[in-house]
Amino acid sequence: MPRQMKPMADVRTPNLADLTRQQESLRAVIESISSELELRPLLTRIVQHACELLGADRGTIGLVDEERNLIRTEAAYRMPPGEIGSEMSPGMGLAGRVLQTPQPVILNQYGDLERPILPELVQDAVIGLPIFWHDRLIGFFGIGAEPPRTFNDQDVELLALLARHAAIAIENARLFEAEKRRAARIATISRVGQRIAARLDPNELFAATVEELHQRLGYDHVSLFLVDPADPAWLVQRARASRWSRGEAVGYRQSIEEGILGATARERVAQVINDVSTDPRYVAVPGAEGLRAELALPILLGERLLGVLDVAGMRRFNQEDLTALQIVADQLAVAIDNAQLFAHTQHALEETQLLYKTSEGISTAMDVEGVIGVYLDQVATRGRYACSIVLYEFNETGERMAVLVRGRWAPDEGLALLNERLPYSRDALDPLLDAGETVAIANVYSDPRVSEELREIQRQSRRPALAMIPLVARGQRIGLVVLSYPAVRRWQSEDLRPYQATAAQLATAIDSRRQQSVLHERSQQLAVLEERQRLARELHDSVTQLIFSITLIAQSIAPAWRRNPAEAERRVGRLLELSQSALAEMRALLAELRPSTLPQVTAPTPGLLRLQQEGLAVALCHYATEIAGDNLEISVDTASYPAAGATGRPPLAHEEALYRIAQEALNNVVKHARAGRVQITLRLENGVVRLMVSDNGRGFASPAGESQALPTRPGGLGLKTMRERAEALGGQFQLTSAPGGGTVVEVFIPR
């Protein structure tokens, strides 16, 4: 081994007894150090034995840090305070001299060095000896003695012999220490994996992972980035634990085209950078003074990239770090997948519960305002965004005319039902919304799709972030759920999911209530129309018929007076009776038109009263007598029809309808037929009531010019009312006529 020495004064020549003693001491020292496996106690014992073996006063042992090219003092014997841990670069002190050469150094005075670092020891004689392991410098021996002691070649040889055994012991201790660290790290990784696997909540999982790596494995800076599901070109920081308090907050975004993180995501290969100052891809961590190295690993589940685990610190990373963190990344991938599945299940459950509660509340709402109130109370109040329900006003052609703000909920304002009307104008967002897509705008001031009108509305409300969810019913966009936030915000899918899940339900409910309102209005109109038709029918069948009879009798009074005054008086009396009946009918109808709060019982008209008391057969005979005149003969055949009070008599409603039909048919004969004879037949056969009114009048032609049955023949009000009355009871109405062949009216009503 080469060495560098200065001339020595007073070189001692050891005698045989000294040599024997040194050999025995050396053997004891070797045995002593061979049994020690802890590095720091081993080095302390070695340097102490070396000083005792050489008769020196003090000494140090330093180990080489190859990465930094310096020697760090690891053990000392009777050295000045603060020596342990001191670092010497090449040329600094005795250790720096050995690191620079590397050869043994013998000096009579420590102060003869070019750069001594211990001024209080400048008078000491010193030996600086390199410690090699397989031709690799691993450490340094430094031995010193106060005058007049000096060192010679025999001292160097003895120390070199001790250094060879010390190198073996140091390497064994290092291997033992490395194995202990490896075992401890594996145990720690196992505990970290258990702690990670035990968490199903994603946010807890992410925070626990970085905290375990930072606290238990001792990494200076740990952050976890996940791929943005809405935009896979970006990584989003979800958790961070660091010795540096400053840094990017959770939610920080970084493109996969930038930095070491981006390279890891793109290449899906771990990146180990032990000197970030030389890597142009490095993106500095704010406030991280002294950060030197970065290790980034892709989090992969099969071929799917979930994110990147980023670790940085002040020391270099080695293969052990890469192996350990790769295990954590693999465990984390499975845990993230499980947590995401759990989160999706929880979200689905929450959405189901939300849909159920919303549906339950909406089902009890009576109108659109109630539906909107329930929705805002059930859905909007769960979030932290202002939520407005906007509906459209349409014209007759189905085009949007105006925007109606019907309700709003905000965290600082609460819930309010509104009816604000704003003008509608089509813009660049309408095609997307008409297609049923949700439009999310992070900043209305910078998004070119936003119209100036909408931008001004959001400027006044001081809410730059905007999201619009279309309300679609029966293929048409009828409104929007509008979310807003008082800061620029990149909307996430979990932000919008509850509103999107319930939008279809809200749209359907609003459309349903609107349709119900329209149906209600139409039902009212229909009820009014039906009531008018009923009144028209009643007026036609009762009052009109009576007035017509009055007219006929009035026309016959003058001729009858000339023939027989008694007959004329009888007809005047009948005229008075008919006018009173017409008045009674009119009063009954007026009473129906103006009902009082108390039920009124109106007496039936004389014809209907006779029907109720004496039966349909008697009522028809009496009415035929009233209608018959000098030139009209009416015969009635009711032989097979049950009389009043008889068993098997049809319901009163059926008889009233048949009476009105017969009444109308007879009046038509008198008014239009110019007949001389009419036959009325009323029968009850096989459970069917048959009414027939036939005359020998002039008749009329069918549209084809042929005689035929006309069950639905259009005609005047009389024909319509006869057909309606028959069909209302499940019966049939037929009319048969031909020019010059008379007319037959037939009605069949099942009993």
Average pLDDT over residues 57-83: 92
User: 3-class SS at 133?
Assistant: strand
pLDDT confidence of residue 149: 92
pLDDT(601) > 50 = no
pLDDT confidence of residue 599: 47
Hey, what long-range contacts does 74-80 have (CB within 8 A, 24 or more apart)? 74/39, 74/40, 74/43, 75/40, 75/43, 75/44, 75/46, 75/47, 76/44, 76/47, 77/44, 77/47, 77/48, 77/51, 78/51, 80/118, 80/120, 80/121
Assess contact for 693 and 669: CB atoms under 8 A: yes
Q: Select the more confidently predicted residue: 553 or 108.
A: 108
Q: What is the pLDDT of residues 104-153, one digit of tens each?
A: 999 999 999 999 999 999 999 999 999 999 889 999 999 999 999 999 99
Query: Which among 188, 185, 179 is positioned nearest to 37, based on CA atoms?
Result: 179
pLDDT confidence of residue 605: 58
pLDDT(597) > 70 = no
Assess contact for 376 and 418: CB atoms under 8 A: no
Query: Which DSSP letter does residue 390 get?
Result: E
**Of 276-280, 496-500, 516-520, minimum mean pLDDT range:** 516-520
Task: Answer whether 4-180 and 366-511 agree in fold.
Answer: yes
pLDDT confidence of residue 1: 39
pLDDT(567) > 90 = no
Beta partners for residue 485, in sequence order:
465
pLDDT confidence of residue 132: 94
**Of 63-72, 396-405, 564-573, minimum mean pLDDT range:** 564-573
**CA–CA distance, 211 with 188 (Å, rounded to integer):** 13
Q: Select the more confidently predicted residue: 509 or 88.
A: 88
pLDDT(711) > 60 = no
Strand order of the β-sheet with 400-410 is 414-423, 400-410, 386-394, 476-485, 465-473, 439-441
**Of 161-175, 322-336, 351-365, 390-404, minimum mean pLDDT range:** 351-365
CA 722 and chain centroid, separation = 62
Number of Cβ atoms within 10 Å of the Cβ of 232 = 11
Assess contact for 75 and 61: CB atoms under 8 A: yes
Number of Cβ atoms within 10 Å of the Cβ of 585 = 24
pLDDT confidence of residue 195: 67
pLDDT confidence of residue 515: 80
**CA–CA distance, 22 with 18 (Å, rounded to integer):** 6
CATH superfamily for 366-511 is GAF domain (3.30.450.40)
**Of 124-133, 493-502, 701-710, minimum mean pLDDT range:** 701-710
Joined together, the tokens standing for residue 44 give 């302390």
pLDDT(221) > 80 = yes
pTM of the model: 0.45
Hey, what long-range contacts does 717-720 have (CB within 8 A, 24 or more apart)? 717/536, 717/537, 717/540, 718/540, 718/664, 718/667, 718/668
Q: Select the more confidently predicted residue: 315 or 530.
A: 315
pLDDT confidence of residue 341: 78
Query: CATH class for domain 4-180?
Result: alpha beta
Strand order of the β-sheet with 271-273 is 253-255, 234-242, 221-227, 304-313, 293-301, 271-273
pLDDT(343) > 90 = no
**Of 33-42, 326-335, 401-410, 556-565, minimum mean pLDDT range:** 33-42
Pairing of strands 105-107, 4-5: parallel
pLDDT confidence of residue 32: 59
Binning pLDDT at 50, 70 and 90, where does residue 220 land? very high
Number of Cβ atoms within 10 Å of the Cβ of 301 = 14
CATH fold of 199-343: Beta-Lactamase (3.30.450)
Assess contact for 713 and 719: CB atoms under 8 A: yes
pLDDT(588) > 80 = no
pLDDT(703) > 60 = no
Domain boundaries, the chain: 4-180, 199-343, 366-511, 604-751
* Residue 27, amino acid: R
pLDDT confidence of residue 19: 54
pLDDT confidence of residue 196: 66
**For 487, phi and psi rounded to 5 degrees?**
-155, 160
Average pLDDT over residues 655-664: 86
Most confident of 30-39, 201-210, 480-489: 480-489
**Of 224-233, 268-277, 507-516, minimum mean pLDDT range:** 507-516
Assess contact for 75 and 66: CB atoms under 8 A: no
Binning pLDDT at 50, 70 and 90, where does residue 596 land? low
pLDDT(637) > 80 = yes
pLDDT(193) > 60 = yes
pLDDT confidence of residue 7: 42
pLDDT confidence of residue 595: 58
pLDDT confidence of residue 418: 86
**CA–CA distance, 396 with 406 (Å, rounded to integer):** 21
**CA–CA distance, 368 with 390 (Å, rounded to integer):** 12
- pLDDT mean across residues, the chain: 83
Q: Select the more confidently predicted residue: 520 or 156.
A: 156
Average pLDDT over residues 20-45: 68
pLDDT(442) > 60 = yes
pLDDT confidence of residue 710: 40
Q: What is the pLDDT of residues 7-31, one digit of tens each?
A: 444 444 555 555 555 566 666 666 6
Q: Select the more confidently predicted residue: 689 or 549.
A: 689
Most confident of 39-53, 69-83, 663-677: 69-83
**Of 70-79, 139-148, 450-459, 643-652, minimum mean pLDDT range:** 643-652
User: 3-class SS at 601?
Assistant: coil
Burial class (CB in 10 A: 0-12, 13-18, 19+), 577: middle
Number of Cβ atoms within 10 Å of the Cβ of 182 = 13
Share above pLDDT 70 across residues of the chain, in percent, rounded to a whole number: 87
Hey, what long-range contacts does 286-294 have (CB within 8 A, 24 or more apart)? 286/246, 286/247, 286/248, 287/244, 287/245, 287/246, 287/247, 288/221, 288/242, 288/244, 288/246, 288/247, 288/312, 289/244, 290/314, 291/220, 291/221, 291/244, 292/316, 293/317, 294/260
CA 493 and chain centroid, separation = 7
Binning pLDDT at 50, 70 and 90, where does residue 378 land? confident
CATH code of 604-751, in short, is: 3.30.565.10
User: 3-class SS at 307?
Assistant: strand
Q: Where is 735: in which H helix or E strand?
A: strand 732-737
Most confident of 292-296, 598-602, 656-660: 292-296
Query: Which DSSP letter does residue 112 get?
Result: G
- Cis check: omega of the bond before 148, within 30 degrees of 0: yes
Beta partners for residue 645, in sequence order:
none
**Distances in whole angstroms, Cα of residue 352 to Cα of each of 124, 347, 349, 356:** 85, 8, 5, 6
* SS3 of the chain: helix, strand, coil, percent, to 5: 45, 25, 30
Binning pLDDT at 50, 70 and 90, where does residue 158 land? confident
